[in-house]
Amino acid sequence: MSVSLRKWALLFGFFWLVCTPLRAYWVDYSLGQQVEQGYEALSKHRDKEAFEHFKQADADDNVLGTAFLGICYLEGRGTKVDYYQAKTYFDSVWRRLEAWRKQKGNTEDLAAGGLSPVKAATAYMLTDYGLATMAQKGLGVPKDPKKALKVYRQIIIESGANGMATFLNHGGLGIDPISDLMVGSVFKHIINLKLLQVTKFNKNMVAKEYTGKTLYQIGMAYKMGIGTGKKRGKAKKFLEKAVEFGNEEAMQALEGLE
């Protein structure tokens, strides 16, 4: 789950998507017809139908379909639970996205071809979420709650809640851009939940849902002391933000913190 493989794609992915103003007419929000149909079926609990759509998307070389196959095997949606298969699909996403990144050569070419930055960033999100969940619970991989929490937090940072962005958006040091970037990098692991606004995810419902799921996992980690010490205040903040993203489990989890 090394973050080095996704830096350039994510630079043009979620950071670009939620941290800067966008003009909708030149941003490709499409996740692919098969993926969109599969996600709709999944949301309506037509799991077998969804699974078939994701298989076709994977066959059509849509890495987001591959990521969803990993989720299906992890959660037993439309197929039997199989952690080996889940990890196999998640690993495939990483290999294919890294090969794509190298083929494009630089960030100026990321929007070319069939894989848009938004689609790539969404695939990374699902893959990281799946691998973190496996590590947190020891599902087919060594149990490592601390590592899982670190990945969950990184997902949220890369989804827009970037402390470095907060620093830079407030003018930095006001000396010069290089100094601001160097000092701002100190804040790159800090999460600012105020930057996560639900309305900015309305054109990518997959990202919206999995941002909510990730916020819930972080909130529960702080509430239950999973991979960290129990921190009631932090748990409440993350769970409240998860509720804003429509996560129903977070609503129930908040009851014990009120």
Q: What would the pLDDT profile of 113-129 be if each residue is shown by its tens digit? A: 467 888 888 999 999 99
Residue 118 is predicted with a pLDDT of 85
Is the pLDDT assigned to residue 3 strictly greater than 90?
no
Q: What is the pLDDT of residues 86-103, one digit of tens each?
A: 999 999 998 888 887 777
Report whether pLDDT(10) > 50. no
- Percent with pLDDT over 70 in the chain: 74
Please state the domain extents for the chain. Answer: 3-161+196-257
Q: Residue 190 has what pLDDT?
A: 83
The arrangement of secondary structure in 3-161+196-257, i.e. its CATH architecture, is Alpha Horseshoe (1.25)
Query: Who contacts 107 (Cβ-Cβ below 8 Å, separation ≥6)?
Result: 8, 11, 12
Considering only residues 143 and 30, tell me which one the structure prediction assigns the higher pLDDT.
Answer: 143
| pLDDT averaged over every residue in the chain | 80
* pLDDT surpassing 90 at residue 75: yes
Q: Are 110 and 9 within 8 A, CB to CB?
A: yes
More confident: 172 or 218: 218
Looking at 5-9, 120-124, 172-176, which range is the least confident one? 172-176
C-alpha 136/C-alpha 240 separation (Å) is: 22
Label residue 143 left, alpha or beta by phi (over 0 means left) and psi (-120 to 50 means alpha): beta
Q: What is the CA radius of gyration of the chain?
A: 18
